Homo-oligomer: A and B are copies of this chain.
Amino acid sequence: MTQKTALTPSTHTAPPAAFSHGLRKGNVLQVAGQVGFLPAEEGRPPTPAGPTLREQTLQTLANVKAVLEEGGASWDDVMMLRVYLTDVDHFAEMNEIWNAYFAEHLTQPPACRTTVYVGLPPGLLIEIDALAVLD
């Protein structure tokens, strides 16, 4: 039997429902949709890193990375990133932030990506989830 392990970085706020921030089973690691919430602080409700796309994108990427690392993985193991934006006009800026970020975080080919424009809860501009396959 292969164990299914929940991945819960200490920086993360509790999920708002019965789901895991991350799971690893065998060589598959799944990261739930992450948003730009700051590291959890006792007594403070989930708080976005700021109102801008830049702040939220960088925090969201940091939150995905924390789950990956909790499961013994890195960006290099990621096969797919799904990016949910709320506004088509954010695409170019998100790509700039994305390219600068990954220029410093990869030693292997970058993940695949799908970007679509959806509704998100008020105040949130971006959500990202990830599927990784480890060696």
A residues with a Cβ closer than 8 A to B are 1-2, 4-6, 15-23, 25-28, 30-33, 76-77, 79-82, 84, 88, 91, 95, 98-99, 102-103, 106, 108-122, 127, 129, 131, 133, 135
Contact = CB atoms under 8 A, between A and B. Distances in A.
Given A2-B135, A118-B117, A133-B26, A17 B111 contact: no
Copies of this chain, complex-wide, total: 3
Given A28-B133, A133-B28, A113 B4 contact: no
Nearest to A24: B79
Nearest to A97: B17
B23 A99 contact: no
A30 B121 contact: no
